[in-house]
Amino acid sequence: MIAEVAPAKIRDIQVLRALAIIAVIFQHYWRLPVPPAFQYLHSHVSGWTGVDIFLAISGFLMCQACVRYAEKTDGKVAALKMFAEHRVRRLLPALLCWNCFSIILAAYLDDPPLRSVFLATRGALAALFGVSNVYWSYCFQVAQGTCGNGDYNGVTWSLSLEWQLYAVLALSFYFLGRYYVLGILLVLTAVLSFFPATMFSLPWVFRPAAFTAGCVVYFLGNTYAPGIRGLPVWGCRIVLGVGLVLCLIAPNVLPPHWIFWGMGAGAGLCMLSALRGDSYSNGRLGSLALWIGERSYSIYLCHLPLMVLVVDILKRLNAAAFAHGQTLIGFGLFSALTIVCSSLSYHFVEQRFLHRGAGKRAVAERLPG
């Protein structure tokens, strides 16, 4: 999802990540001071579908990774092991880092601190064991008010969904065949589409439609590569626009049993628009989007805890004294903290562990025998 590094020639994937994380932040931003116009827009646009764009990217990239590891290794088990090792190196360090931050923040902000630390730790463990989506579905649907503040580490639900989809993809790819992958994922999507897309229901936290769409785009890209990558820039931008709009409004305009299909189709169109590689990643705006996209995993993990922190800071500053400027103050604080924290996390956590693992693997490949 958010974590696999895109091939350098498909720079537009980073722009998709930037758009996805902006949509997710928009969904959650109501926690900070906002103008009335924001509330109106928030009621008509579903920013949480940014997660589905991340899932479509993951479906595409994980299919690509499965093929690459199969070519590099001898045997299915070795390929599966390489796939798993790379996912762990790429995803786990930053997750551990921000889970620890969420626990410390809970201890600092909440009263009584011991109960808050216990609940935040429980949420962090659910994320580390890859069951956060099930945990938070239970918390919101069954045990409301007993799981603590989901803003500390509740965003990890989508990471658990990704990990589960990675497992389904890799196991079916290596032990059944690549075309069974699409069949299994399409069946799962069809079954879950019979249920309403109620937020944090089990069908909602297990939705595979966008991930499936990303896989479809990968296979289409391989089959019809010259035609798809030969699309004009303006054509790719139109496809991106249609995909974004479909993703963002599908939950509000489509019938219940078509919502998952609509979000998946929109996310798939976004991924399809990126295959040319350079349709919207050039220029100053493109450079900014590339910068955001590179850090999107860390931004995703840290943005909600930082919102909680900013709200606390505004209270301590006596926000009433800044009644006319608290929206700007909140935006400025949140933006500054997000830029600094995500950059530190990207450079000193994500990249360090990824490069360290890559270096060890390169040395091992040069050794005889």
DSSP 346: I
Asked whether the predicted pLDDT for residue 225 surpasses 80, the reply is: no
Asked whether the predicted pLDDT for residue 366 surpasses 80, the reply is: no
Q: What is the pLDDT of residue 6?
A: 40
pLDDT digits (tens, 9 = 90+) for 54-79: 999 999 999 999 999 999 988 899 99
Range 168-207 burial, b when 16+ CB lie within 10 A, else e: bbbebbbeeebeebbebbeebbeebbebebeebbebbbbb
pLDDT digits (tens, 9 = 90+) for 96-149: 999 999 999 999 987 777 888 999 999 999 999 999 999 999 999 998 878 889
Asked whether the predicted pLDDT for residue 214 surpasses 90, the reply is: yes
pLDDT band at 261 (very low <50, low <70, confident <90, very high): very high
Are 230 and 18 in contact by the 8 Å Cβ rule? The answer is no
Overall average pLDDT of the 139-163 stretch: 92
C-alpha span between 84 and 155 (Å, rounded): 22
Q: What is the pLDDT of residue 359?
A: 53
Percent of the residues in the chain that have a pLDDT greater than 70, as a whole number: 92
Question: Helix (H, G, I), strand (E, B), or coil: what is residue 5?
Answer: coil
Across the chain, what does the average pLDDT equal?
Answer: 89
Q: What is the pLDDT of residue 319?
A: 62
C-alpha span between 67 and 64 (Å, rounded): 5
Asked whether the predicted pLDDT for residue 231 surpasses 50, the reply is: yes
Q: What is the pLDDT of residue 323?
A: 58
Instruction: Report CA dihedral (50, 51, 55, 61) to the nearest 10 degrees.
Output: 70
Q: What is the pLDDT of residue 318?
A: 76
Q: What is the pLDDT of residue 1?
A: 46
Structure tokens at 329: 């103050």
Structure tokens at 54: 């991340």
Overall average pLDDT of the 189-195 stretch: 90
pTM value > 0.85:
yes
pLDDT band at 369 (very low <50, low <70, confident <90, very high): very low
